[in-house]
């Protein structure tokens, strides 16, 4: 398994990590958490030591583990108290001169206690609608929403909060994939992209992350033989930027953005 010495900063818009990094407390302990190589690349490229990194859907804490190792300040929130406890367990290691992350329960749609324009980088990995439910009965859990419109509308409330708490000219990175329903492709990532653009963000990068070692792959292989469709083996890592108030966006905010 790759160790931290094997890490290399990515230089293209296609990222592929056949083996997950296993340094410190990184473990693939539940479905859907992203590889530490993703978090490390984003944090190194879009923040500096001492700056504040926010993950408002913290899951098992991958973002905060990397932020601690890389000497960033960090804040984690999650609507599921079990995920908060798991993250706190995974952060139980020592790094010289590291900042201790702040992890509390919270709803991505209401980032109370986080001051306006106080965050240097947002990095998060939301659920893909109800593809993997992360709770059974927690009110407001986005992973229990099976309607594309409802999911995107609720996530949009969080996107507005991202825009509020993020500093000008700072970045927000979100890893989001697509779905298949009744053998047809559901472009969830495209809908989420539109929500960000409508709420003031501009798109800095669209990175294709190749999927490896998915637990559902054997089941999908049987289905594609029967129903004749392609297996989805990639996700989108969108990197958005919050423009400066006085910035001239005429060269980057194309007319199609305005029509979304």
68-97 pLDDT, tens digit each: 999 999 999 999 999 999 999 999 999 999
Provide, rounded to the nearest whole percent, the portion of the chain with pLDDT above 70: 92
Nearest one of 23, 135, 137 to 84, comparing CA atoms: 135
Per-residue pLDDT tens digits for 137-178: 899 999 999 999 999 999 999 999 999 999 999 999 999 999
- Asked if pLDDT for residue 109 goes beyond 90, the answer is yes
**Cα–Cα dist 232/76, whole Å:** 29
Of 7-11, 112-116, 199-203, 254-258, the range with the lowest mean pLDDT is 254-258
Strands (E) across 38-156 are located at 52-55, 73-78, 102-105, 119-124
**Cα–Cα dist 40/82, whole Å:** 24
**Cα–Cα dist 36/66, whole Å:** 7
Per-residue pLDDT tens digits for 53-62: 999 999 999 9
- Asked if pLDDT for residue 127 goes beyond 90, the answer is yes
- Domain range annotation of the chain: 4-259
Strands (E) across 17-165 are located at 52-55, 73-78, 102-105, 119-124
DSSP, collapsed to helix, strand or coil, labels residue 75 as strand
Per-residue pLDDT tens digits for 188-202: 999 999 999 999 999
**Cα–Cα dist 158/108, whole Å:** 5
Tell me the chain's radius of gyration from C-alpha atoms.
18
CATH class label, 4-259? alpha beta
- Asked if pLDDT for residue 213 goes beyond 80, the answer is no
**Cα–Cα dist 6/3, whole Å:** 5
Provide, rounded to the nearest whole percent, the portion of the chain with pLDDT above 90: 79
Question: Going by C-beta distance under 8 Å and a sequence separation of 6 or more, which residues neighbour residue 254?
Answer: none
- Asked if pLDDT for residue 1 goes beyond 80, the answer is no
- Asked if pLDDT for residue 219 goes beyond 90, the answer is no
Tokens 């490390």 identify what position? 40
Q: If you average pLDDT over every residue of the chain, what do you get?
A: 92
30-34, 149-153, 248-252, 254-258 — which one is most confidently predicted on average?
Answer: 149-153
- Asked if pLDDT for residue 255 goes beyond 50, the answer is no
């Amino acid at each position: 398994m790759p160790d931290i010495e094997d890490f290399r900063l990515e230089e293209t818009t296609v990222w592929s990590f056949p083996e997950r990094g296993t340094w410190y407390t990184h473990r693939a302990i539940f479905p859907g958490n992203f590889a530490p190589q993703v978090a490390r690349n984003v944090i190194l490229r879009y923040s500096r030591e001492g700056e504040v990194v926010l993950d408002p859907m913290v899951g098992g804490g991958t973002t905060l583990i990397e932020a601690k190792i890389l000497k960033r300040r960090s804040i984690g929130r999650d609507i599921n108290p079990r995920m908060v406890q798991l993250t706190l367990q995974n952060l139980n290691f020592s790094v010289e001169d590291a900042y201790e992350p702040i992890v509390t329960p919270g709803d991505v749609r209401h980032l109370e206690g986080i001051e306006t324009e106080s965050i240097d980088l947002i990095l998060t990995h939301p659920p893909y609608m109800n593809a993997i439910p992360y709770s059974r009965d927690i009110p407001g859990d986005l992973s229990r929403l099976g309607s594309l419109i409802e999911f995107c509308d609720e996530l949009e409330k969080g996107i507005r909060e991202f825009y509020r708490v993020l500093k000008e000219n700072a970045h927000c990175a979100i890893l989001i994939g697509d779905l298949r329903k009744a053998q047809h492709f559901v472009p969830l990532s495209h809908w989420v992209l539109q929500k960000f653009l409508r709420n003031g963000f501009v798109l800095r990068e669209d990175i294709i992350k190749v999927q490896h070692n998915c637990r559902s792959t054997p089941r999908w292989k049987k289905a594609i033989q029967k129903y004749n469709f392609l297996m989805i083996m990639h996700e989108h890592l969108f990197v958005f930027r919050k423009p400066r108030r006085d910035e001239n966006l005429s060269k980057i905010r194309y007319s199609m953005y305005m029509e979304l």
